[in-house]
Amino acid sequence: MQSSTPSSAPTRRQPKFSMVRRAGNLVFVSGQMAFDEGFRIVGDDVSTQTRVCLENIERHLQTVGLTAGHIVKTTVWLTRVDDFTAFDAAYGEFFGTTKLPARSTVRADLMLPGALVEIEAIAQIGDDEG
């Protein structure tokens, strides 16, 4: 029987992308899943996961001095079409009275088991002209 040693243990690879990237007056936030600080999926339902995804996006935007109110466009991936209504309600509740961003929503298989939604965002620095 072989013993496990640190050199034979699998290592967790860091993804090769930026969480937040500024280009001119736009800020791009990479797709967020409902991760907690330990990179575990939070919530068994799409409403909870949607809220956590959006809170993660807002936290990343805060690192460059922006808020969710600066978001002008989101792209959303849902694992189940049947979750759209609950997702849309949680999404609307998060933004409240803030001007809603433009949005694309598609059904897709996500990379992690248990993930029901992934959301990426584009925010604008400065005045909203639209």
Parse the chain into domains and list their residue ranges.
20-124
**In whole angstroms, how far apart are CA 87 and each of 10, 37, 62, 93, 101?**
35, 22, 23, 10, 15
DSSP assignments along 60-101, one per residue: HHHTTT--GGGEEEEEEEES-GGGHHHHHHHHHHHHTTSPPP
Tell whether the model's pLDDT for residue 119 goes beyond 70. Answer: yes
Mean pLDDT of 83-89: 98
pLDDT of residue 128: 58
DSSP 35: B
Q: CATH homologous superfamily for 20-124?
A: RutC-like (3.30.1330.40)
Q: Which residue has the higher pLDDT, 77 or 126?
A: 77
pLDDT band at 129 (very low <50, low <70, confident <90, very high): low
Inter-residue contact 110 to 77 (CB < 8 Å): yes
Q: Is the pLDDT of residue 81 over 90?
A: yes
Q: Does residue 123 carry a pLDDT above 70?
A: yes
Which of the four pLDDT bands, split at 50, 70 and 90, describes residue 4? very low
Sequence-separated contacts (24+) of 16-22 with Cβ below 8 Å:
19/60, 20/60, 20/61, 20/63, 20/64, 22/64, 22/125
Residue with tokens 């189940």: 80
